[in-house]
Amino acid sequence: MNKYIFIATVTFSAIAAGCGADSNPGHSYMPDMTYSRAYETYASTADLEKEGVFYNRRPVPGTVARGEDVEFEFNLPHDSAGYAQSAQLKNPLDSASAKVDMKEAERLYLINCGICHGAKLDGNGPLFNGGDGPFTAAPKDFMAADMKALPEGTMFYSITYGKGQMGSYASQISPKQRWEIIKFIRSKQGVGASGAPAADSTAKGTGAGVAADATAKK
């Protein structure tokens, strides 16, 4: 019996000594957790500016993200001048060699845009729902005349930087995916890249329609 009492006493003494205020374990299994290192965040850049370092949380102008094609490079500034210049941007996917999977473009639209602008592009997505949703202001109706006339580049600019109550989608959608979404929107609007009504190639008396009729009559 005395043996067990001795063992218990020694064990309790060792535990008490190890938990003492002045105890030093000597070795830590996970030192980064035992002695946490404080990391300085860039939530405030005031201290950096005092040292002559100016950090605005944006990539260097002209930077192209790894894995992105140079043809989708976008460097317009986020200001009134950049917004005005965006009207001159052309959709790289309008080139003859570009291939756009419209089903994928539709999927991207529904995931990222449909919740506000609606599956029918009428500005009546679930978040508005005729005024019964959590949003009190109706999102833009892409089928309206003003949105059909909106240049594609301006649409791209708005997706990249945000517009009005809509925030930026630059971190969620790659530049190529933004152009794909715009391509899908244009296909549903029935207008060309410039906002003008798309030409009907099957109509008689115009373009390919004339060639098709002439071939059929031979």
Q: Does any domain span residue 126?
A: yes
Say if residue 104's pLDDT is above 90: yes
Structural tokens at position 14: 């060792």
For a pLDDT cut of 70, what percent of the chain falls above it?
72
pLDDT at 36: 67
Q: What is the pLDDT of residues 13-57, one digit of tens each?
A: 666 655 555 555 567 777 777 776 666 665 667 777 888 887 776
Helix (H, G, I), strand (E, B) or coil at 51: coil
Structural tokens at position 156: 């791209």
Q: Does any domain span residue 105?
A: yes
Q: Does any domain span residue 5?
A: no
pLDDT at 215: 41
Q: For 189-218, what is the mean pLDDT?
A: 52
CB 209 within 8 Å of CB 202: yes
pTM, to two decimals: 0.63
Q: Does any domain span residue 33?
A: no
When the pLDDT of each residue in the chain is averaged and rounded to a whole number, the result is: 79
Q: Does any domain span residue 134?
A: yes
Q: Does any domain span residue 135?
A: yes
pLDDT tier for residue 207 given thresholds of 50, 70 and 90: very low
Q: For 100-121, what is the mean pLDDT?
A: 95
CB 80 within 8 Å of CB 149: no
Q: Does any domain span residue 128?
A: yes
pLDDT tier for residue 205 given thresholds of 50, 70 and 90: very low
pLDDT at 73: 83
Number of domains within the chain: 1
CATH code (residue 123) = 1.10.760.10
Say if residue 197's pLDDT is above 90: no
Structural domain for 178, as ranges: 71-189
Q: Is the backbone of residue 26 left (phi > 0), alpha (psi -120 to 50) or beta?
A: left
Helix (H, G, I), strand (E, B) or coil at 96: coil
In angstroms, rounded to a whole number, what is the distance separating the alpha carbons of residues 160 and 65? 14
Query: Would you call 109 exposed, middle or buried from its count of C-beta atoms within 10 A (0-12, 13-18, 19+)?
Result: buried
pLDDT tier for residue 64 given thresholds of 50, 70 and 90: confident
Q: Does any domain span residue 28?
A: no
Structural tokens at position 59: 């990539």
